[in-house]
Structures are given as C-alpha cells and as structure tokens.
Amino acid sequence: MMPDFDQEGKGETQAWRPDLSAPAVLLEGVSKSYGRIFALSNITMALNGGVTGVLGMNGAGKSTMFKLLMGKLKPSQGKVRLFGTDPWKNPAPYARVGFVPEHEKMYDWMTAHQFVSTFARLNGLTRAEAMLEADRVLNFVGLADVAHKKIGQYSKGMRQRAKIAHALVNDPELIILDEPLQGCDPLARTTIMNVIRELGRMGRTVIVSSHILQEIERITEQIVILHNGRLLALGNLHAIREKLDQIPHRITIEADDAKALAKDVIDMDEVYGISFPDNKNLSIQTHNLGAIHAQLPAAIVNNGHRIHTIDNPDDDLASILGYLTSGGGL
C-alpha cells in the first residue's frame, strides 16, 4: 500500500468541535451587576445570522453584553453561550469569533500589518500564513495602501478599520463590533458601514452597537434596543418605526414668517397643536409623522413660504426610548 504522501494540512486533531446546531449567540436570563447596580438585567435572546444593531444610550449595557459574550466578564446570573459553549470557561469558540473592542488605546508602535499578523498567529497560523491573512483582511477593510504605516499615525477611522481587520482574521462566523463608528469622519463611516453590510451579505452573523439610530438604520433593519441594562425591544426597525408614527411627535420648522406658515399648517387633519418656541420657529404636534411629512412640502411651496430647516427633534433614540419606557411597549 502506498503511504499517504498528502498528509500535510489535513489535521485530524482538533481541540474543539463546534456545536453546529447551537445559535451563534445565546443569552438566557443574563444579569450582570456591580454591587447594587445592574449593568444588565435579565437579558434573554438568541442571534444567528444577519446583521443585528444593538442600540442604546451610553451606559445602557451594550459593552457589558459584548464583554459577557466574549468571556471577559462573568455573568452574575443566567447563561451565556457562544456557539453552545460557555465563553467564560472556554476560549475555544473565539476561533470562530471576531471582536472589535470599544477601547481607543491600540499598539501605536506597530504597523497595522504587524498588528494584524501578530495576533493572527494566535489562531494557530504560521508566520507566513499570518502575513497573507493580514494582507487579505487589511485589503478587505481598505487599508492595504497604508498597511505598513505605524498605527500611531492613523486617523480615528483608520484605527477603527485596523481593529476590524484584526477581528476578521481567520474568517470568523460571528463578528462583534462595539461602537465601530464612534469618532469616525463621514468617509470612514461609510467605508466601515459598507464593510459591515458586506459581511452580512457574506452570511456572517454580525452584531454592531451604536448610540445613534441613523447609523444603525443605514446598516441593518434588525435591531436590539437596550436601556438601563434592560432589553427594551428586539425586532425589525420598520415595525418599531410604524409604532412610533402613532405616538405624539414634534416637527420644528425654522421659517422667515413662522406665523404665516402656522396658518397654512393648522388646517391639516393630523396636526393637533402648534406652538412658537421663538419668533423664527414653528413647532407642530402630531400623531402621524408620515402624513405631515407628505403634506408639508406642498403647503410650503404653494403658499410661497421661505423656510430654513425642518427638524424632527423627537425622531431619535431618546424619543424611542422615552416612548418604550413610558409603558408603550411593542
């Protein structure tokens, strides 16, 4: 019998076999408390596939949840599972996970290529393999041309992308990004959003956190809302929006003649109140944001009003949270 000459690269021993039936992320009744303060309380959810946005104000518990998932924190109560394994006890599932921490501090003395390839070797890659892998992921996040510059010379957006590249080594099935857009300029923001969407299209499970609704909206429709450590909502952003359309809303319009504009607006069915915060501004109260936005342009143009801004001061995370926490529910 001929000996098997092609053994190279066909490892039989594998320290850890993934549980293929388990969801990527599973939290069951998870709480995390520091003394009497609950950073997370009784979170239950399972995520598998697609891009999920985790929304919450600063201190809502987003980072705490991610650190629990990455086995950096130990849950006070409940069960955390990463591919069916307890990440606090077993680092093996990290082979399938990429993590972008929120911390801004990086190894400024390294080049992005050194940074990515050094830690790629912790996945068991050889030096040469790690170099190729670093080339691949840095190219993916659009840092190929500056890969051999020191991280210390990078802009905020480039640093975030280097962190994402670090997380993408070994082609993980689950990528967790903690505030990846924070502090980035618009161009970097767009690039990073494209990278995240691309990962979603590639079939990866992506969890990305932000405190800005508009950012998450541009990335995904599937969202999780955290507030004061509690899970407020989990579902499709559109469903949440529709509910929001039924709750009291304000539209603020800055116009040359706010009083004249008010006369034309007051006749609309959906407007139930008007006020003037100051001479230039008109504030409209409504239950149906969508209907007002549909009629407003005609009312302005037909009557020849000159306006400067139209703003929905409530249409942000704070108002959603305000509504959800005031007992509205979804």
The residue ranges that bind another protein (CB under 8 A) are 8-11, 13, 15-16, 67, 70-74, 91-95, 97-99, 101-107, 109-110, 115, 118-119, 121-127, 129-130, 132-133, 136, 163, 166-167, 170-171
33: number of CA atoms within 13 Å, CB side? 11
Closer of 97 and 258 to another protein (Cβ): 97
Closer of 107 and 182 to another protein (Cβ): 107
Closer of 170 and 220 to another protein (Cβ): 170
The nearest distance, CB 190 to another protein, in angstroms, is: 25
The nearest distance, CB 37 to another protein, in angstroms, is: 14
With a CB cutoff of 8 Å and minimum separation 6, the contacts of 102 are 63, 178, 179, 182
Distance CA 12, CA 9 (A): 9
Distance CA 180, CA 243 (A): 28
If one counts every other C-beta atom within 10 angstroms of the C-beta of residue 78, the result is 17
Closer of 97 and 141 to another protein (Cβ): 97
CA dihedral 219, 137, 27, 93 (to 10 degrees): 170
Distance CA 19, CA 28 (A): 18
The nearest distance, CB 83 to another protein, in angstroms, is: 12
The nearest distance, CB 205 to another protein, in angstroms, is: 16
Closest C-alpha to 167, from 66, 87, 97, 65:
97
3-state secondary structure of 213: helix
Distance CA 99, CA 242 (A): 33
The nearest distance, CB 119 to another protein, in angstroms, is: 6
Distance CA 157, CA 315 (A): 27
Closer of 9 and 327 to another protein (Cβ): 9
Transcribe 13-81 into DSSP letters. Answer: --S----TTS-SEEEEEEEEEETTEEEEEEEEEEE-SEEEEEE--TTSSHHHHHHHHTTSS--SEEEEE
The nearest distance, CB 141 to another protein, in angstroms, is: 15
The nearest distance, CB 254 to another protein, in angstroms, is: 42
Closer of 65 and 225 to another protein (Cβ): 65
Closer of 153 and 214 to another protein (Cβ): 153
